[in-house]
Amino acid sequence: MRSALLALIVVFSITSCSKFAKVQKSTDYEYKLRMAEKYYIEKKYNNAQMLYEELFPIYKGDPKFEDIFYKYAYCSYYLKDWLQAENLFKQFVEVFPSSPKAEEMEYMRAYTYFKQSPKMELDQTNTGKAIGLMQTFINIHPGSARNKEATAIIDQLRGKLEVKDYNNAQLYYNMGHYRASAIAYTSLMNDFPDSGKSDEYKFQVIKSYYLYANNSVEEKKAARFEQVVTECNDFIDRFPESKLVDDVQRYSNLSQNNIKAINK
């Protein structure tokens, strides 16, 4: 039974390939276009893509060209060829800037970068591009129905970047590179000013600078503990309601006691 089913699949596959080969060889372009549409509807995007590509120079300048271009771009998208899809969505807008589909194509171009956003551990260049293009889309189309989704995608991607930067800063801390940790956490705060964890990041800056001062040579300790006190005062000014205020005050007191002891 299983072998019979396998044989049937093979026969069907050969027949389908043979039929597509005949379509490709045809010089009837209207027929080819109809078949491309058929394959597209049936989600046979490889076949549709090959036919649309052949028809590009034939229908260029024809009223049907816009729809061919539109579906050709989506073939690449559905085949997960993100680079090609991004390029075609971009080209569509350049060729048909006044098209009712232009807004959709601009959004889809940004969306292909979202699809290319890699795991957090990897280079996040495409994540940054996706955020930039989504924000540009929102700015250019303030009334678009797609803006809610675009905003959600931006928030999601910024969250990914925030966690990546946090992990990098914490790695410096865990490795005992306290000055680098303090600088990295400060950058994290500046890059994500609306984060709900800003007070935690600032506290990590304080801890990092404290340990950096504590491990310094004697002649540099006083100045570096002064920096900790400055960071503590800044924390209390910026986050007076934080649950970490008492811990911050403790680091401030420890640092001031160290300064007094050094200056005796």
The predicted-structure confidence for 153-173, as pLDDT tens digits, reads as follows: 999 999 999 999 999 999 999
Side chain identity, residue 37: E
Question: Which DSSP state fits 216?
Answer: S
Q: Is the pLDDT of residue 264 over 70?
A: yes
- According to the model, what pLDDT value does residue 17 have? 61
CB 150 within 8 A of CB 140: no
- According to the model, what pLDDT value does residue 120 have? 86
Q: Token match 């000013």: residue?
A: 193
Give mean pLDDT, residues 15-31: 81
Mind listing the pLDDT tens digit for each residue in 101-119? Answer: 999 999 999 999 999 999 9
- According to the model, what pLDDT value does residue 73 have? 98
Average pLDDT, the chain: 92
Q: Is the pLDDT of residue 4 over 80?
A: no
- According to the model, what pLDDT value does residue 9 have? 43
- According to the model, what pLDDT value does residue 20 have? 86
Mean pLDDT is lowest, of 7-11, 37-41, 82-86, 260-264, for: 7-11
Mind listing the pLDDT tens digit for each residue in 186-203? Answer: 999 999 999 999 999 999
Side chain identity, residue 88: L
Q: Where are the domains of the chain?
A: 176-264
Phi, psi of 106, rounded to the nearest 5 degrees:
-65, -45
- According to the model, what pLDDT value does residue 13 have? 45
d(CA 264, CA 250): 21
d(CA 199, CA 228): 15
- According to the model, what pLDDT value does residue 15 have? 52
Q: Which two tokens stand for residue 246?
A: 């008492």
Helices (H), 60-81: 65-78
| Of 248 and 5, more confident | 248
The CATH number for 176-264, chosen from 3.40.50, 1.10.357, 2.60.40, 1.20.58, is 1.20.58
- According to the model, what pLDDT value does residue 150 have? 98
Give mean pLDDT, residues 136-141: 97
Question: Which H or E run includes 194?
Answer: none
Q: Is the pLDDT of residue 131 over 90?
A: yes
